[in-house]
Copies of this chain bind each other. A is one copy, B any other.
């Protein structure tokens, strides 16, 4: 017979020890959430994926993906607002591209991660 003692551990380790990680500002949480939220749809993620390869203009992406130009434009703008993409006009076209290598790493690491995770 096992009378295992679980005796109501106070879940909070009452010890008031210091935090290792400093808490981030409200602003950081909001901006971070904006960034993640922009990436939080398969459709926008697909755009990011295409742009990993090279810059594209709006109409080109719309054509390749079989979507309306206005739809693609809105998606790209949301990604741009989150500072994930750069935007440059050349002639009649506007070219979007991955903002920097941080963003690039974020994407490739995450893609690799979820593909590995699947095999468990």
A binding-site residues for B, Cβ under 8 Å: 6, 8-9, 11-12, 19-21, 23-24, 26-42, 44-46, 49, 52-54, 56-57, 59-60, 63, 83, 90-93, 95, 102, 106, 109-111, 113-115, 117-118
Contacts and interface: CB of A to CB of B under 8 A. Distances in A.
Report how many copies the assembly holds: 2
A45 B33 contact: yes
A115 B27 CA distance: 9
Contacts of A34: 40
Given A29-B49, A60-B12, A35 B114 contact: yes
A107 to B, nearest CB: 8
Contact of A109 (B83, B102, B118): B102
Given A9-B90, A39-B33, A53 B115 contact: no
A32 B92 contact: no
Given A36-B110, A110-B35, A57 B11 contact: yes
B92 A60 contact: no
- Most B Cβ at <10 Å: residue of A28, A59, A83, A95: A28
